[in-house]
Amino acid sequence: METPSQETKFQFPNDFLMGAAASAHQVEGNNINSDWWHWEQAGKLPKSGAACDHYNRYPEDFGLARSIGLNAMRISIEWARIEPKEGRWDSKAIEHYKKVLQSMKEQGLTRMVTLWHWTLPQWLADKGGFETKEGIEAFGRYAWFVAQNLGKEIDLWVTLNEPEVYAMASYKRGHHPPFKKNLLLTRKVVDNLIEAHKAGYRAIKQALGPVPIGIAKNFAYFEAYGKNNLLDRLTAYIADRIGNHYFLQKIEQYQDFIGLNYYFYNRCKFSWRHGMDEMNRNFTYGQMKLDDQLSRSDMGWVLHPEGIYHLLLDLKTYKKPIYITENGLADAADTRRPKFLSETLSWLTKALDQGVDLRGYFHWSLTDNYEWHDGFGPRFGLIEVNYATQERKIRPSAEIFKEIKFN
C-alpha cells in the first residue's frame, strides 16, 4: 500500500495527544529497592546506575519535551519507591511524584501514568511476584494507594506495560528477572497479570470514579508470507489472535481505552515448528520470514510503519478509544528515525480518516535510556543523552513534531 499523500499527513485533531513515553527504571536512576537493581548488583544484568538522572532532571526533560512540540508524556511510577517494604508506603516518594506530575502540568503536558513497567519491589520479588495470587493482591493495594494519593494529578491511567512481553522475557526466555524458563509458569504469570490488571482497575475506579484506564499492550503486525497460501494465512491469523487479542479479550470489560505498543512486523510462513522467533521476541506459530532488504533498527528489528495502520483498523472492532502508548526505534545515528516518524504519522492520519478513534501517539522514547538487558547501547531517544555528563541534545528527527498542525 502507498504511503498517504504529503499534504494531509501531519494534520491531527485539536485535542490529539502528541507525546513521548518513558519508564521509571529506564530513566530515573538509583532504583535501589527494585528486583532489577538487585540483579544488576549481582552481576546478572548491566548496571542502570544513575541512568538519565531523570529523578532529578525531570523539569529539564519535560521542558525539552515541550520545546520540541509535544503536548503529552507517558511516564511510570516506581512501585519499589512507593512501597519499598511490604505495607510501608513512602511519603517522600509520593511527594516526589506529586512534584513530577505538577511539573508536567506546568509544562502543558497531559499526564499518562503507568503503574507497573516491569520492575518489582524486591520484597515482592522474594515472594514470587506475579507467580502468586499475593502479587495480584499487592498490585491492587498499590494501585489503590497511588489513586488515593496521586489521583488528582493523573489524566490517563495505564495499569501494566506489555504484560506478555514481561512474562516471555522473565519466564520463557529467562533473560529478565527472575530468569526462569518454564512454559507453565509463563502461562500462569500471564493469567495472574490479567487478574492484577482487573484488581488495579477496580481499585482505581473505587478510589476515583470514572477516570480513563487501560494497559499498554504489545502488538505485532502479522502478515502471511505467501499472500495466497492458505496455511501461511492461517498461521498469521493464529499468531494475531494469540499475540494481539488474547489478553485484550480477557480484560475487555475492564478497560476504557486500548494502549497500543507497536514495534514488530512478522511475516508468517507455515511450518511444523512452534515457538519463539528469536529476533522479534514474539511468540507465535510457524516460522517468521523477514526479508533482508527491509530496513532495520540498530537492534535488527524490522521497520514497518504501515503495520500500525492495519493494527489500528483491526482494533476498531473493540469500539474503544485507542492511544499509541509506544512506538519507536533504536537509531543512534538518527538516519532512519526521520523517515520512520514521517511515515508513521502519515499512517496515523490515514487511520483517523478511516474513522479509527485514535486519541494520541506516544513515541518511545523521549530520551535515550536503559534498554533492560541490552543496557545503555540502544538509542531510542528523540533526545540524545551523554551518560558521562548527563547532557541532553535534541536529535534532528525530533523537529518533525513542530510541523504537526492541530485543528
Contact residue for ligand IFM among 28, 40, 162, 164 (CB under 6 A): 162
Question: Which sign, positive or negative, has the C-alpha torsion 21, 26, 28, 31?
Answer: positive
> Which of 76/284 has CB closer to ligand IFM?
76
Q: Is 364 in the site for ligand IFM (CB under 6 A)?
A: yes
Residue labelled with grid coordinates 469500539: 319
**What's the rounded Cα separation, in Å, for the pair 199 and 25?**
23
CB 23 to ligand IFM: min, Å = 5
∠147-149-155 over CA atoms, to 5°?
50
CB 380 to ligand IFM: min, Å = 6
Show contacts with ligand IFM in window 11-30 (CB under 6 A). Answer: 23, 26
Cell, residue 131: 507467580
Cell, residue 304: 514497518
Contact residue for ligand IFM among 371, 373, 384, 399 (CB under 6 A): 371
> Which of 9/176 has CB closer to ligand IFM?
176
> Which of 364/401 has CB closer to ligand IFM?
364
Q: Is 298 in the site for ligand IFM (CB under 6 A)?
A: no
CB 207 to ligand IFM: min, Å = 26
> Which of 149/367 has CB closer to ligand IFM?
367
> Which of 247/364 has CB closer to ligand IFM?
364
Show contacts with ligand IFM in window 97-156 (CB under 6 A). Answer: none
Q: What is the DSSP letter of 1?
A: -
Q: What is the DSSP letter of 85?
A: B
CB 261 to ligand IFM: min, Å = 6
Residues forming beta bridges with residue 113, ordered by sequence position: 75, 157
Q: What is the DSSP letter of 9?
A: T
All residues at 6 or more sequence positions from 246 whose CB lies less than 8 Å from its CB, including other chains: none
Binding residues for ligand IFM, how many (CB under 6 A)?
Answer: 7
Catalytic residues: 326
Q: Is 261 in the site for ligand IFM (CB under 6 A)?
A: yes
CB 4 to ligand IFM: min, Å = 26
**What's the rounded Cα separation, in Å, for the pair 217 and 326?**
9
**What's the rounded Cα separation, in Å, for the pair 125 and 128?**
5
**What's the rounded Cα separation, in Å, for the pair 185 and 131?**
7
CB 161 to ligand IFM: min, Å = 6
Give the SS3 label for residue 346: helix
Cell, residue 266: 512478522
**What's the rounded Cα separation, in Å, for the pair 219 and 284?**
12
> Which of 82/260 has CB closer to ligand IFM?
260
Helix ranges, 260-336 (H): 306-315
Q: Is 326 in the site for ligand IFM (CB under 6 A)?
A: yes
**What's the rounded Cα separation, in Å, for the pair 371 and 176?**
12
Q: Is 83 in the site for ligand IFM (CB under 6 A)?
A: no
CB 371 to ligand IFM: min, Å = 5
> Which of 26/170 has CB closer to ligand IFM?
26
Backbone phi, then psi, for 322, in 5-degree steps?
A: -125, 140
Cell, residue 187: 502461562
Report the interface residues with ligand IFM, using CB under 6 A. 23, 26, 162, 261, 326, 364, 371
